[in-house]
Amino acid sequence: MYVSNKLIINLPNLFIPLRTLHSFYLYLGMKQTNSANTPEKFHFDLMENERLRSMFVGVTVLLIIIVLFLYIFLNYDLFAQNFTNRFYWFAGIFLLVFLAVRGFLISKYIKVLYLKKKTIPKKFLYVNVLFEVSIPSAIILFFGLQVNPYVSLISPLTQIYFIMIVLTIMEMDMRISTFAGILSGLEFFIISYYLKTDFEPPNEFALIGTNMYYVGRSMMMIGTGVIAGFLAERIKNSAINLYTQQEETRKIEQLFGQQLSPQIAKRLMESTSLIQPEKHQACIMFLDIRDFTQTTENMSPEEIIGFQNHIFSDMFGIVNQYNGVVNQIMGDGFMATFGAPVTSNQCCEEAVQCSLSLLSSLKKMNQQSDFPKTRFGIGLHYGSVVTGNIGTEERRQFSITGQTVIIASRIEQLNKTLDTQLLFSEDVHQQLANHKFEFTKFGKHPIKGLSQPVNIFGM
pLDDT (tens digit per residue) in 330-348: 878 899 999 887 777 889 9
Q: Give the architecture (CATH level 2) of 273-458.
A: 2-Layer Sandwich (3.30)
pLDDT of residue 6: 39
| Residue environment code for 131-150, b if the CB has 16+ CB neighbours within 10 A, otherwise e | ebbbbbbbbbbbbbbbbbbb
**pLDDT tens across 313-326, in order?**
788 888 888 888 88
Q: How many CB atoms lie within 10 A of CB 192?
A: 26
Determine the pLDDT at residue 268. 53
pLDDT above 70 covers a percentage of the chain that reads 79
Q: What is residue 240's predicted lDDT score, i.e. its pLDDT? A: 79
pTM metric for this prediction: 0.50
pLDDT above 90 covers a percentage of the chain that reads: 18
109 pLDDT band, cuts 50/70/90, is: confident
Query: At residue 260, does pLDDT exceed 60?
Result: no
Mean pLDDT lowest among 146-160, 174-188, 192-206, 377-391 = 192-206
Residue 389's DSSP bridge partners are 398
Could you give the CA distance from residue 400 to residue 126 in angstroms, rounded to a whole number? 59
Mean pLDDT of all residues in 118-134:
86
396-401 vs 440-445, strand pairing mode: unpaired
Tell me the range of 13-22, 256-265, 404-413 where mean pLDDT is highest: 404-413
Domain limits, the chain? 5-251, 273-458
User: Cα separation of 223 and 157, whole Å?
Assistant: 19
Q: Which of 82-91, 386-395, 407-416, 448-457 has the highest mean pLDDT?
A: 407-416
Residue 23 has a pLDDT of 44
Task: Give the best-scoring range by mean pLDDT among 41-45, 155-159, 220-224, 263-267.
Answer: 220-224
DSSP state string for 138-182: HHHHHHHHHS-HHHHHTSGGGHHHHHHHHHGGGGT-HHHHHHHHH
pLDDT tens per residue across span 158-198: 888 888 888 888 888 889 999 999 999 999 999 888 887 66
pLDDT in tens, 236-248: 888 778 777 777 6
Whole-angstrom Cα distance, residue 452 to residue 93?
96
CA Rg value for the chain: 38
pLDDT at 38 over 60: no
* Whether pLDDT at 380 is above 90: yes
For residue 10, what pLDDT band results from cuts at 50, 70 and 90? Answer: very low
